[in-house]
Structure 1
């Protein structure tokens, strides 16, 4: 059997990572096998270890790519406006949408991987890209808050993003029930109309 060219080998590796990035987001970091990944990539199982030393090594790279994709998407969505409230809406509304709920393979890696991280040790090779990716998203979100105080902006980002992640998780867990749509709508409405990122206004003097 002829050897695969370097160009084709590099292309195959990209195909494998792309397939794994989607599958891991759909089923979690421990929810798929090497066979599943290679089948989704349209390649034979035997070729896997020519590209990766283990499934964990692939999962790490797929996790990094998933966070990179979301970071790029966030930057593109907020690039069209200088208004922070509008920028927040540009992130929140698609995040808490039916499309996001129903397409986990293209959606938030935090929701996809958080359950797995609960069972990973602090020194896990999978935990590092998760923490790095999560902190980058939080930093990006904090920049869209309205306070002049960076600590307050960080707190608001933590609160709002936690609500987004929790709402999307519950919406997926209840998909097919009316409650699922209610959860998305309630969280989306609260975050975009109540302006939780706005600093408190001073009370009128007596």
Structure 2
């Protein structure tokens, strides 16, 4: 990798960590300079604006979390296990989140709701991508006979995603993983009682 590419990647990585902890609006150019150790001119040699950095930074943070999801999903053989794998990636969200600062999608969605259309669009793409992944897992579970045929695939994916994101938010707010852990137990029970086919 060329030195210029390494510098650009360094700016993206450090900015992603900064934005995911302090927010886009709460992070100034001086904060980016402090986090990267690169002067203003060096940053603007690679990016035209803070907005451009933010979009690249979100993509980077989302890709890191996506890789963690991939690793967790690859270890599971059942559809139920694969759905729960998403939760387990955030099982210790307070102390060891997959990306520093918590869920990039959630943080970006909340902050950019009405203030930054481009970032909001990226977060919405992330939402649909994750929901589509969950729906594919549920459909696989139905096809294999693990899940009941009549399941509302869209509703179950939304329920799973909402439980996961709610657990992340509550656990981070309280500084205690108990909410995520309770949601894991509740969703496990729900899958067993309402989704899995009986013997």
TM-score bracket relative to the smaller structure = 0.7 to 0.9
- Stretches of structure 2 that go unaligned for 5 or more consecutive residues are 144-148
Once the two structures are TM-superposed, the CA of residue 174 in structure 1 deviates from its matched residue by 1.3
Does the CA contact (< 8 Å) of 2:151 and 2:195 recur in 1?
Answer: no
Does the CA contact (< 8 Å) of 1:24 and 1:105 recur in 2?
Answer: no
Once the two structures are TM-superposed, the CA of residue 156 in structure 1 deviates from its matched residue by 0.8
Once the two structures are TM-superposed, the CA of residue 169 in structure 1 deviates from its matched residue by 0.7
Q: Does 1:134 align with 2:138?
A: no
Matches within 5 A, 1:153-168: 153-168=153-168
Residue 52 of structure 2 aligns with which residue?
A: 57
Structure 1 residue aligned with 2:187, among 185, 191, 204? 191
Matches within 5 A, 1:60-79: 60-79=55-74
Q: Structure 1 residues 197 and 156 mapped into 2: Cα distance closer, same or farther (>3 Å)?
A: farther
Q: Structure 1 residues 188 and 168 mapped into 2: Cα distance closer, same or farther (>3 Å)?
A: same
TM-score normalized by the length of structure 2: 0.82
Residue 33 of structure 1 aligns with which residue?
A: 28
Residue 152 of structure 1 aligns with which residue?
A: 152
Q: Does 1:115 align with 2:142?
A: no
Partners of 2:150 and 2:51 in 1: CA distance? 36
Partners of 1:47 and 1:107 in 2: CA distance? 29
Partners of 1:109 and 1:150 in 2: CA distance? 33
Once the two structures are TM-superposed, the CA of residue 136 in structure 1 deviates from its matched residue by 0.8
Once the two structures are TM-superposed, the CA of residue 154 in structure 1 deviates from its matched residue by 2.1
Q: Does 1:125 align with 2:118?
A: yes
- Stretches of structure 1 that go unaligned for 5 or more consecutive residues are 1-5
